[in-house]
Amino acid sequence: MPRLYTITPQIWRDDFLCYNTNVNLADLLKNSLDSALLDLIHRIADESSALGFPIYLVGGSVRDLMLARPILDLDLTLEGDAIKLVRALVKKHGGELTTHEKFFTATWTPQSSNSQILDLISTRREIYSAPGSLPTVTKSTLDDDLRRRDFTINAMAIRVDGEHFGELYDPLCGQSDLEKKLIRVLHPKSFLDDPTRIFRALRYAERYGFTIDPESLKLVNDGSRKVLSTLSGERLRHEFDLIFEEPNPSTMLKQLAELDVLKSIRLRITSYELPLLDDPSPAFGEFAVPDMLSFQQTLCWVLWLMNSSVSEIEDVAERLAFPVLLTNAAVFASALKQELPSCKNWKPSQWTFHLDELPSLSVYAVYLVSKENALSEYLSKWQHVKPLTTGDDLKARGLAPGPRYGEILRHLRAAWLDGEVGTEEEERQLLATLVTDR
């Protein structure tokens, strides 16, 4: 018999309280998840059950399951000791345990190489000692765990152990809001506690085509914007990074401006149009900021900022604690975009020697918005053009090492780029004139 969840009504809207019905989503789970994932959930749930810990699929996993969207990360939460559970899993099935005791979280890396790494999290309560601070975390019940979350659609759980498999816990009417396509906060202080939720609300609304509940939207006000202005650059930048992982970031940037969020965090950028990135060329994937940003995120940052002046970019970079690589890519892209009209009649060698000094990502970003053919020629061909002659050849010809080496090799490269030589023999003849010229 599914447990009925009873809660004390401490919430701010009279119509906001949902008494749980006996909804069982076992069939939805069985029909939506592939068999390997289901099998993994059962293995974990069996172990959890043996330890007497009820275990649930929560948050984004439940939301995406109900929206019939692919589940990318398994969010599993248990009312019990996550570290004990992972220890038991490792003992029975092998693999590795990593513990994060402060956060009541343990990670299980199963033995098989194609299994995903799983975070198992003990249900917790979070208390914000001051607006915008990071919360103090203590172990608590599922109910508290759901109430610490951002939006009703992210505050549901489905129990997955034993005979309880499939029971839905939805004390805050998430399912009903999903049906109404509404993003709704759980209490009026939500954006004061954590104003990064403003960014999250816009992301979910845009991603799913939902609306932000008008009462929740009113909470984006002077109070929450003030708290937002106190957040660290890293925390704020992370929210933009997440926006740049979504398919259409422009709309969200525009909304952030309309809600005066950009102004409140001292971003003076006034353009929001980014080209749609249906197909960012994978050939340029190497331009991501290592260990920090994906290629798409890096590119979006540069595309957004390159419409601004260098001093505006530097302000943003300082406020949002940019890595140097990203600042440089944006600054050079901005400069290249501005100087483009004056480069129109350049020879390939002029383009190449100029673009060689810039980060390739800047060149690629400016190409995406300008479609300047010379930029794509540079990226695909010109930058790789080298003369056949090497420094060793010059040495073998008896030329004393020095700056002349570089000049000669540069001259030969320019000749290839500009079509003045096209064969080994022509290069040899040109080299002979250069060497005797000196």
111 vs 248 by CB, closer to ligand ATP? 248
In the complex, minimum distance from the CB of residue 40 to ligand ATP, in angstroms, rounded to a whole number: 18
In the complex, minimum distance from the CB of residue 53 to ligand ATP, in angstroms, rounded to a whole number: 19
Q: For ligand ATP, which stretch binds (CB under 6 A), given 5-13, 115-123, 146-154, 299-307?
A: 146-154
63 vs 413 by CB, closer to ligand ATP? 63
Q: Does 167 bind ligand ATP (CB under 6 A)?
A: no
Q: Does 154 bind ligand ATP (CB under 6 A)?
A: yes
The residue sitting closest to ligand ATP, measured at its beta carbon, is 60
Single out the residue of 53, 66, 75, 280 in contact with ligand ATP (rule: CB under 6 A): 75
Q: Which two tokens stand for residue 66?
A: 């109900």
Closest CA to 75 of 62, 84, 93: 62
d(CA 301, CA 97): 36
Single out the residue of 124, 147, 149, 164 in contact with ligand ATP (rule: CB under 6 A): 149
Q: Does 147 bind ligand ATP (CB under 6 A)?
A: no
Q: Does 135 bind ligand ATP (CB under 6 A)?
A: no
112 vs 138 by CB, closer to ligand ATP? 138
d(CA 204, CA 243): 10
d(CA 350, CA 272): 32
104 vs 378 by CB, closer to ligand ATP? 104
Single out the residue of 48, 196, 349, 389 in contact with ligand ATP (rule: CB under 6 A): 196
Q: Does 150 bind ligand ATP (CB under 6 A)?
A: yes
Q: For ligand ATP, which stretch binds (CB under 6 A), given 189-197, 214-222, 293-301, 343-351?
A: 189-197
194 vs 206 by CB, closer to ligand ATP? 194
In the complex, minimum distance from the CB of residue 314 to ligand ATP, in angstroms, rounded to a whole number: 29
Q: For ligand ATP, which stretch binds (CB under 6 A), given 12-20, 166-174, 194-202, 324-332?
A: 194-202
77 vs 250 by CB, closer to ligand ATP? 77
In the complex, minimum distance from the CB of residue 264 to ligand ATP, in angstroms, rounded to a whole number: 18
In the complex, minimum distance from the CB of residue 194 to ligand ATP, in angstroms, rounded to a whole number: 5
* Length in residues, the chain: 438
* Count, residues near ligand ATP per rule CB under 6 A: 10
149 vs 164 by CB, closer to ligand ATP? 149
Looking only at the bridges linking them, the beta strands covering 182-183 and 211-212 are parallel
d(CA 274, CA 242): 15
Q: Does 171 bind ligand ATP (CB under 6 A)?
A: no
Q: Does 197 bind ligand ATP (CB under 6 A)?
A: yes
Q: Does 255 bind ligand ATP (CB under 6 A)?
A: no
Closest CA to 397 of 438, 430, 428, 435: 435
Single out the residue of 7, 32, 37, 60 in contact with ligand ATP (rule: CB under 6 A): 60
In the complex, minimum distance from the CB of residue 374 to ligand ATP, in angstroms, rounded to a whole number: 39
Q: Does 145 bind ligand ATP (CB under 6 A)?
A: no
Single out the residue of 40, 49, 59, 255 in contact with ligand ATP (rule: CB under 6 A): 59
Q: Does 81 bind ligand ATP (CB under 6 A)?
A: no
Single out the residue of 143, 177, 194, 372 in contact with ligand ATP (rule: CB under 6 A): 194
In this structure, the number of other CB atoms found within 10 A of the CB of residue 289 comes to 19
172 vs 355 by CB, closer to ligand ATP? 172
57 strand-pairing partners: 76, 158
CB neighbour list of residue 66: distance below 8 Å, 6 or more residues apart: 28, 156, 175, 178
Q: Does 119 bind ligand ATP (CB under 6 A)?
A: no
Judged by the rule CB under 6 A, the positions of this chain that interact with ligand ATP are 59-60, 73, 75, 149-150, 154, 194, 196-197
